[in-house]
Amino acid sequence: MSIFNTIKNAIFGKAQAAEQAVPSSPSGAAPSSAAPAPSSASSASAAPASPVDVAAVMEKAVAAKGQKLNWRTSIVDMMKALDLDSSLTARKELADELGYTGDKSDSATMNIWLHKALMKKLAENGGKVPADLQ
């Protein structure tokens, strides 16, 4: 699986899990006419039915880590919050996937580009990304 898909599935999967934890009716029982939920294998790769609030998911992920992580500006912190490999090797692979053409040995510039490109790609795939991060 690509690193982008791993990130997307981590964010969208956390959002889907949060939605499923909310009762679907006031009594907490699903209506009898409800269609069965899609399997996690098929829904993980498809775009969600409604936009996933990336900021809300990331804020919860950061809070759960109990560390000071600035996911809004740092690709490394974002990946750490999602419990993903944030090594330079992983980031270079993500850069290849997202079409980075700059110098990968200039990790600061690459990281800034990666964060912006990732936010754009998440928005294109069903994520609701804050306007200041696009």
- pLDDT tens-digit readout, 79-113: 999 999 999 999 999 999 999 999 999 999 999 99
Q: Name the percent of the chain lying above pLDDT 90.
A: 69
Mean pLDDT (the chain) is: 84
Q: What gap in Å lies between CA 123 and CA 116, rounded to an integer?
A: 11
Over residues 70-77, the mean pLDDT reads 98
**pLDDT reported for residue 14:** 75
Flag whether 34 is in a domain. Answer: no
CA angle 110, 47, 52 (to 5 degrees): 75
Q: What gap in Å lies between CA 80 and CA 87, rounded to an integer?
A: 10
Flag whether 63 is in a domain. Answer: yes
Q: 123, 133 in Cβ contact below 8 A?
A: no
Structural domain count of the chain: 1
Flag whether 131 is in a domain. Answer: no
**How do strand 52-53 and strand 127-128 relate by DSSP bridges?**
parallel
pLDDT band per the 50, 70, 90 thresholds, residue 30: very low
Residue with tokens 């981590």: 10
The dihedrals phi and psi of 95, each to the nearest 5 degrees, come to: -60, -45
Output the pTM of the full model. Answer: 0.76
**pLDDT reported for residue 43:** 42
Helix axes 88-98, 107-124, angle to 10 degrees: 50
Flag whether 65 is in a domain. Answer: yes
pLDDT band per the 50, 70, 90 thresholds, residue 49: low
Nearest to 114 by CA among 76, 59, 62, 70: 76
**pLDDT reported for residue 46:** 52
Flag whether 134 is in a domain. Answer: no
Flag whether 62 is in a domain. Answer: yes
Flag whether 36 is in a domain. Answer: no
Note down the domain range covering 87: 3-21+50-126
